[in-house]
Structure 1
Amino acid sequence: MADLVSKAHGETGLIIYGNTPAGVIQPLLKAFTKAYPWIRPAYSQLSDNQVYSKYQSEHAQGAHTADLLISDSIQQVVQGEQNGLFANVTPQGLTDFPAYTNQGHGAYVMSPDPVLVTWNTKLLSKNQIPTSYAGLSADVRKDPSRHPLVSYSPNNPLGYEAVYGLNHILGADTVNGYLDTYGPHTKTLDEGLDGLQYLVQGGASAGWLASGLAQAVVPQYKGLIAYGYMSDATPLTPRVITQTAGAASPASAQLFLDYIYSDAGQQVMCAAGMEASMNHFKPANGCTASLTELAKHVPARTTYLVPVSQDVVDRQKSITDRWNKALGR
């Protein structure tokens, strides 16, 4: 640690490219700067594809580019591994986290975001709130007019990974049946914030695929929408962080990784709405965005971390084609 601090003093800045909304990640960046006052991270919010393409383009030209990359796209991460984009560094503190936190080759799960259900509190009464995918399917079949739905698009990495996770937990035949039921009544949107806004405006009564980051955003709508968990399946979609092989500030980047996997970093992430995943995590401020809190609501057997693997990449076309068919496309 002392060696990293000494080296970081000689570096110029810390550049991070990520898909996490700037408003969500800012508390973490500020807390890190408070711990290391001479390091002021410069954060660029980009799409998943832009995170990697911008870094690769700038690195190839020898420009001062990103030291850390944050993305939800498993396909991009797998390709990044194959192209040697990542430094194979190991953050301190990983023994206090689930084994899946280390996805190998320098790729780490920054936050295992649970797939949530969201709903418009004005359109659904308490006994109409979806609590399982099976229950929602039965409700839609019984009264389709009461259940206009919204979800991520199959083209969104998180949306695809969520359905991949559902297939793993519930089985493809069961999930395809649900997709066929939901499809004709579902509006799909590429951005999660757009989906929440669609709910607020009354375009849908429920969102059956919502990012775990909704935990950070929903309170801003002052009770107009709410979120919860599906009891029969809760995929965890990985928000992956990697240190780049071409990092100009590798010591500063390593310190940031170490901070994420510390109790201090986990406290800030939980409060900001990013899923804290430290084993036996105890929130200091009552925050609820943590695997500890999730375990109070859903059985462990119904959760599954979608891995950074070639299989996730290989099955994308078949799963999204089947989903698009259910949507009538």
Structure 2
Amino acid sequence: MRSITGRVAALGLIGGLLLTACSGGDGGQGIVPDTSKPSEISADAITKAQAEGEVIVYTNSPDELWDELIPKFEQAYPGIRISPVSLNGPELVQRLLSEKKSGASTADLVIDSSPSTFFGLQDALSDRSSVFDAALPDYAKPWPGLYAISAEPSIIVYNRATFPGEPPKSLADVAAIAPDNRGKLTTYDIDSENGYAQMWTLTKNRDDAWPLFDKLAPSTKYEMNGGSMTQKLAQGEYVAGYFQSGLVRGLLKPNGLDSVLGWSYESDGTTVVPRYTAVVKGAAHANAAALLQDYLLSAPGQTVACSSGLTAVRDDVAEPCGDLSVKSVTDTVGQQNILMVPLDEAMRADKPAFSARLAKAREQ
């Protein structure tokens, strides 16, 4: 049997996010992607995209997503090369705006899970309407031209051997063991937008959010990297992590970690982080970018996304995607416990006061 260290090393800790790269591309969930060509996309749209031959994508999605997606997209649309460029949110915004200002070549499509990315790029994005607009839930289309291709639920990840008592099912369960486990809990740092966005969203939807943070914060170590947290959980340094990425769900079993780590939804407030995509205004390969965006929003494209570990947004792919669909998560925890992270400018404006309040909680 491989050691814990060896098994954790197999996770592929990339850019602070976790995305499964399982053999067969089933995300550890037995998902078989639909590799057919979406019938709703017109032949004319395909011809124009193939004439351009390429789509450059600036993204914070790990390489493993593209390993799963690119072969299937190229099978459906031969002659179009996808060129992903891995960038974090602030770097993505700065680079794209700088390139546009200087007239240099830049991205055709942006895919990112950070709300600030799209606040920063709002004037640089096309307001095109996807042919799949009507098939998408409202939260997946917050602005014209901006669409969520996935939405990852927050989960609790816990060490099966060291978590005291019954496995946690809620943030309240984690808070209950916090006083006796100082330094043994973990979550994203407030300077990680993923972490802050989830914390802020909980406070906007739950009256008891700050009392929860008052219990959790003194026992929590905050980290920027999701991979580091999972590694330390597996090694027993932490007993539980909250606001962890739902991407972990499909990662544990294929990497032999399901006997070491368990996970559960935060039944008293499952924050959900959309991963948005938008075509860049004036893109050099605008038709190819539009085709890729539409493909990712189609039913077949959504099954490809969920087979790679992302959580599909379309309700009509809940059956093939299983747990890796927002509908399935909602059916499990209840609509009242789904807290969608919004594209709300107030999130940025509130951060200084929020940071000060969290710092006070940590000092207790």
Q: TM-score, normalised by structure 2?
A: 0.83
Cα distance, 1:277 vs structure 2:
1.2
Q: Contact (CA 8 Å) 1:189, 1:195: kept in 2 or not?
A: yes
Query: CA, structure 1 residues 217+62, in 2 after alignment: closer, same or farther (shift >3 Å)?
Result: farther
Determine if the alignment matches structure 1 residue 108 to structure 2 residue 108: no
Secondary structure of residue in 1 paired with 2:241: strand
Q: Distance in 2 between matches of 1:86 and 1:21?
A: 22
**Among 216, 237, 247, the residue aligned to 1:213:** 247
Over aligned residue pairs, what C-alpha RMSD do you find?
2.0
Which AA in structure 2 matches 1:77? F
Q: Distance in 2 between matches of 1:29 and 1:160?
A: 32
**Among 219, 225, 240, the residue aligned to 1:185:** 219
Determine if the alignment matches structure 1 residue 66 to structure 2 residue 107: yes
Determine if the alignment matches structure 1 residue 53 to structure 2 residue 94: yes
Query: CA, structure 1 residues 45+218, in 2 after alignment: closer, same or farther (shift >3 Å)?
Result: farther
Q: Distance in 2 between matches of 1:102 and 1:230?
A: 25
Q: Contact (CA 8 Å) 1:86, 1:105: kept in 2 or not?
A: no
**Among 181, 199, 203, the residue aligned to 2:237:** 203
Map residues 1-329 of structure 1 onto 2, 5 A cutoff.
1-81=42-122, 84-124=123-163, 127-141=165-179, 143-144=180-181, 148-171=184-207, 174-222=208-256, 223=258, 224-284=260-320, 287-328=322-363
Q: Distance in 2 between matches of 1:68 and 1:214?
A: 26
Secondary structure of residue in 2 paired with 1:128: coil
Cα distance, 1:192 vs structure 2:
1.4
Gaps of 5+ in 2: 1-41
Cα distance, 1:226 vs structure 2:
2.6
Q: Distance in 2 between matches of 1:18 and 1:271?
A: 19
Query: CA, structure 1 residues 220+86, in 2 after alignment: closer, same or farther (shift >3 Å)?
Result: same
Q: Contact (CA 8 Å) 2:89, 2:116: kept in 1 or not?
A: no
Which AA in structure 1 matches 2:140? T
Secondary structure of residue in 2 paired with 1:115: strand
Query: CA, structure 1 residues 325+28, in 2 after alignment: closer, same or farther (shift >3 Å)?
Result: farther
Secondary structure of residue in 1 paired with 2:333: coil
Which AA in structure 1 matches 2:306? C
Secondary structure of residue in 2 paired with 1:33: helix
Q: Distance in 1 between matches of 2:239 and 2:114?
A: 28
Cα distance, 1:287 vs structure 2:
4.3
Cα distance, 1:59 vs structure 2:
2.2
Between the aligned residues of both structures, percent identity stands at 26
Secondary structure of residue in 2 paired with 1:213: helix
Q: Contact (CA 8 Å) 1:107, 1:241: kept in 2 or not?
A: yes
Gaps of 5+ in 1: none
Quick check: 311-320 or 150-159, which moved more? 311-320
Cα distance, 1:234 vs structure 2:
0.6
Runs (4+) of structure 1 exceeding 4 A deviation are: none
Q: Contact (CA 8 Å) 2:151, 2:274: kept in 1 or not?
A: yes
Q: Distance in 2 between matches of 1:318 and 1:30?
A: 46
Cα offsets for 1:69-115 (capped at 9, x unmatched): 1222212211211xx11011111212222111111142222212111
Equivalenced residues, count: 321
Quick check: 25-34 or 233-242, which moved more? 25-34
Q: Contact (CA 8 Å) 1:58, 1:65: kept in 2 or not?
A: yes
Q: Distance in 1 between matches of 2:353 and 2:111?
A: 26
Secondary structure of residue in 2 paired with 1:66: coil
Query: CA, structure 1 residues 241+328, in 2 after alignment: closer, same or farther (shift >3 Å)?
Result: farther
Which AA in structure 1 matches 2:328? E
Q: Contact (CA 8 Å) 2:92, 2:117: kept in 1 or not?
A: no
Which AA in structure 1 matches 2:83? A
Quick check: 220-229 or 294-303, which moved more? 220-229
Secondary structure of residue in 1 paired with 2:147: strand
Q: TM-score, normalised by structure 1?
A: 0.91
Query: CA, structure 1 residues 315+63, in 2 after alignment: closer, same or farther (shift >3 Å)?
Result: same
